[in-house]
Amino acid sequence: MRLLESDSLVLHSFDYRETSRIVRIATRDAGVLSVIARGARRPKSPFGSAIDLFTSGVAHVRVNPARDLHTLTGFDATRSRSELAGSLARFTAASAVAELCLRFANEDDSGRVHDAATSVLDAIGVATPDDVPAIALAGAWRVVAELGFAPSLDQCATCHADLVADEPVTFDHRAGGALCARCARLGPRGRLFPAEARETLRAWLDGTESALGDSSTRRAHQRLLREFLEEHLADGKPLRAFATWEAQSFSHAPAEHA
């Protein structure tokens, strides 16, 4: 076994037996790990609230290379992000980002996904509920880019021909992005992708801010991201947190106070 100390983000946790918890953490040095926090449910546990959802800190892990479940020996919390629980808009968006990391970032060991995820969670935490969707979508697409499978927007995803920037195109999830008119005619898949939507997505992938329009535009971007991710999932299982996030946006619930 080896000992690992790494900046980490708590993405998910659940009870295990009577006294322990299993925690999924995104580490800067070893990707996403599953760890067991023995005794975490005991009243006098040394973990306390340190391993609450969305908490950042330094994880101390005893890594067993022969197993998928490692041992968390300590977690020095540095940021709790309790503000994410104070708004339904913030919480559902943060949960969608966490699910993205859980489902796709297992092989990441560069720290880029950890850094991108913590950055977007921090931004969601200080945003007003009305601003959360654009911030969360931008951050989620940046995580996708760090994972290495961002969609093609300026060249056809099939034949790699250059695309005109200010014209609508067909977006094909399976092909991996925008298609030229010729390739779009070869198959029935894909959906019309307006030039304005393509420019917004390009800005998000480049790390710059771009506001969303009305609620229908917001939901269209949420659906585009979810469908793109589901197309590239190896296990074919649905993204439940993303579906909840979309449903919350669709409900037109009154905006919570920040």
**Over its length of 258 residues, how does the chain's per-residue pLDDT go in tens digits?**
799 999 999 999 999 988 999 999 999 999 999 999 999 999 888 898 899 999 999 999 999 888 989 999 999 999 999 999 989 999 999 999 999 999 987 766 678 889 999 999 999 999 988 899 999 999 999 999 988 899 999 999 999 999 998 899 999 999 999 999 999 998 778 899 999 999 999 999 988 878 787 788 888 999 999 999 999 887 888 899 999 998 887 664 444 433
Beta-carbon contacts of residue 61 (< 8 Å; ≥ 6 apart) = 3, 4, 5, 6, 27, 30, 33, 35, 70, 71, 72, 73
Q: Which fold has domain 84-150+192-250?
A: de novo design (two linked rop proteins) (1.20.1440)
Confirm if 250 and 92 have CB atoms less than 8 A apart: no
Structurally, at CATH architecture level, domain 2-79 sits in: Beta Barrel (2.40)
Residue 209: the pLDDT is: 79
Per domain, the residue ranges of the chain are 2-79, 84-150+192-250
Sign of CA dihedral 237, 27, 200, 188: negative
Structure tokens at 191: 């959906």
Note the pTM of the prediction, 2 decimals. Answer: 0.89
Residue 257: the pLDDT is: 38
Amino acid found at 155: Q
Residue 111: the pLDDT is: 85
Residue 256: the pLDDT is: 43
